[in-house]
Amino acid sequence: MFTIKRLNPGALALFFFLMPLTGLQGQSAWGDSIAHRLDLLRRLYQSENFEQAQVNALAFGYFLQVRHLDCPPEAIRLVNGVFLQNKDMESATKFLSQAEADAKGTRIPAQRVALLSALEAAYLTWGMSEAHQRVHDSKVVALGELQAQRQTELVRAAFRERDSLRYRATALLQERQTRLYVDKQVLYAGICLFSALLLLGIWAWNRRQRRWKQQWQRREQEMDIEKAAAGLSLAPMDAHTSAQQPPQAYIHNESIVQTALLVEPNRPIAIYLKSLLSDRFQVDTVATANEAIMRANDLLPDLIICDAVLNGHSGIEVVRQIKMGERTSHIPTVLLVEQHGPEALLDARRAGADTWFVRPLPNDDLNAQIAQLLESRKQQHQLFNRHLHLYFTDWRPHLPDAFLQKTLELVEDNLSNPDYLPEDLAKKLQLSRTHLVRKMMALTGKEPQQLIRELRLEKAKVLLEKRAAAPQVVSELVGFSSPGSFVKAFRDYFGDDALLLRG
């Protein structure tokens, strides 16, 4: 077998730098990393190409020496095996001496022990008893240092764990003390609140019972049509009751037709409620949850009154779906419940109803609440007008209604398009034009065409105040087909044309 004992340093250096280009063992290029070189050396050794492995082993040792790298423990076993197969004791002694020097310079005890263990086994294969004993003694010292390091780490970990447990115990004790104190305060406040609500509920129940009896006596005549089915014996109303007029707050303009949707499975109660609403609303009555949701989406009424208990369904869920629907979320809703006190309030809040009543229903209270709901809608229209005037300024207020915000953003994105129509807006909002008109009238008091026109003019005013462009250019930017129509619309909307003259 051919054995390489020595290589010229210059030739070895040339081989080291040209080795990636030689294509050894079918490899086109090898990097300078230790892993790649060891992998090549391992393949040569496994294929029993010990001559080529000898060359690569010497190159690997030179590579570690030039790069000032520590020899890995697995490399000692592999390289020593190559030298042993080639019976090159001189190269093996040189390589193992260099690895021993690397082990002495290593500051990490675990790495030093691994290197010394590999060296101890390598010296033993060559029968170098003196070197083997020297490395063994160094290994014993390194094992002692490693054991001491591990003991120190264990002590430090124990101290950290003790400090952590002590800190958590202190924090837990403080948390328990604080929580107990807060819980007592909440308990006392809850007891007081519950007692007050209970007394208030009892008082309200008695008061409503008395008023219900009075209202029922005045409405008995309207329930005659249910006498045969319900088996009720109704007493006639007196002339004074039948001639009673609705409250003044309920008188409305006959030119405005308002609609109300009544969700009530109990026919007598439905007739009674319809009699309360018929002088102000065109009332549509349904008895089931599915009919209520479908009718609300189709009709878009101005008011919905729903009983909390329907046949096999919860009226609370019906009101919740109406309030969550984008098409119907703006409709004022009244929930009729059977419970009293905080439970009734909780049901109404859960459903998202605007107001609630406990059946039997008082006439005056219902009228007053409905009038208040409709009045709040007018106030909402005024707030929206103020928002519209500030929409294109730096003081634009927050608009909580997501539907209105989306509508304004769609119109704003198309202001420069003179052909943008309410039909285009309704298509983007996934509504028919009729439904869009009803919803916009309910939320803003404006039809879509009017809203688009006012947004154009508000944008034009801001541009003219900032002198961003001449009036003729501004009219094109906000979607007017001609400057003449823009000037007329601007003067009619704002009352003067000073900004136009200044521009």
Q: What is the 3-state secondary structure (H, E, C) of 447-500?
A: CHHHHHHHHHHHHHHHHHHCCCCCHHHHHHHCCCCCHHHHHHHHHHHHCCCHHH
Closest C-alpha among 421, 434, 417 to residue 479: 417
pLDDT at 312: 65
Q: Please check whether residue 344 is in contact with residue 337, taking contact to mean a CB–CB distance below 8 angstroms.
A: yes
Structure tokens at 228: 């045969």
Pinpoint the alpha helices (H) of 108-128. 109-126
Least confident of 60-69, 89-98, 212-221, 459-468: 212-221
pLDDT band with cut points at 50, 70 and 90 for residue 59: confident
In terms of Cβ atoms closer than 10 Å to its own Cβ (0-12, 13-18, 19+), residue 92 is buried
Residue keyed to tokens 């509920």: 201
Q: What is the 3-state secondary structure (H, E, C) of 318-372?
A: HHHHHHHCCCCCCCCEEEEECCCCHHHHHHHHHHCCCEEEECCCCHHHHHHHHHH
Q: Please check whether residue 198 is in contact with residue 341, taking contact to mean a CB–CB distance below 8 angstroms.
A: yes
Q: Please check whether residue 261 is in contact with residue 284, taking contact to mean a CB–CB distance below 8 angstroms.
A: yes
pLDDT at 442: 86
pLDDT tens digits along 173-204: 877 766 655 567 777 888 898 989 988 889 88
Helix (H) or strand (E) holding 93: helix 89-105
Structure tokens at 468: 């961003």
Query: What SS3 class is residue 22?
Result: coil
Helix axes 129-219, 89-105, angle to 10 degrees: 50
Max CA separation in the chain (angstroms): 134
- The answer, yes or no, to whether the previous bond of 362 is cis (omega within 30 of 0) is no
Distance CA 328, CA 292 (A): 12
Structure tokens at 328: 């119907």
Asked whether residue 369 carries a pLDDT value surpassing 90, the answer given is: no
Q: Please check whether residue 474 is in contact with residue 463, taking contact to mean a CB–CB distance below 8 angstroms.
A: yes
* Cα end-to-end distance, the chain, whole Å: 103
Least confident of 5-9, 246-250, 435-439: 246-250
Backbone angles phi and psi of 418, in degrees to 5: -70, -15
* Phi-psi category of residue 7: left, alpha or beta, with phi > 0 → left and psi -120 to 50 → alpha: beta
Least confident of 24-28, 31-35, 322-326: 24-28
Kindly report the pTM of this predicted structure: 0.45
Distance CA 73, CA 114 (A): 6
Asked whether residue 239 carries a pLDDT value surpassing 60, the answer given is: no
Cα 350-351-356 angle, rounded to 5 deg: 100
pLDDT at 181: 54
Q: All domains of the chain, ordered by start, with CATH?
A: 9-148 (1.25.40.10), 256-379 (3.40.50.2300), 390-502 (1.10.10.60)
CA distances from 298 to 14, 191, 280, 301, 308 (A): 90, 46, 21, 9, 22
Structure tokens at 145: 């240092």
Cα-only R_g, the chain = 46
Report long-range pairs for 406-412 (Cβ below 8 Å, ≥24 apart). 407/440, 407/451, 408/455, 411/451, 411/452, 411/455, 412/455, 412/459
Q: Which residue has the higher pLDDT, 209 or 312?
A: 209
Structure tokens at 110: 């675990």
What DSSP string runs through 406-453? HHHHHHHHTTT-TT--HHHHHHHTT--HHHHHHHHHHHHS--HHHHHH
pLDDT tens digits along 107-140: 788 888 888 888 888 888 888 888 888 888 888 8
Report long-range pairs for 234-243 (Cβ below 8 Å, ≥24 apart). 241/217
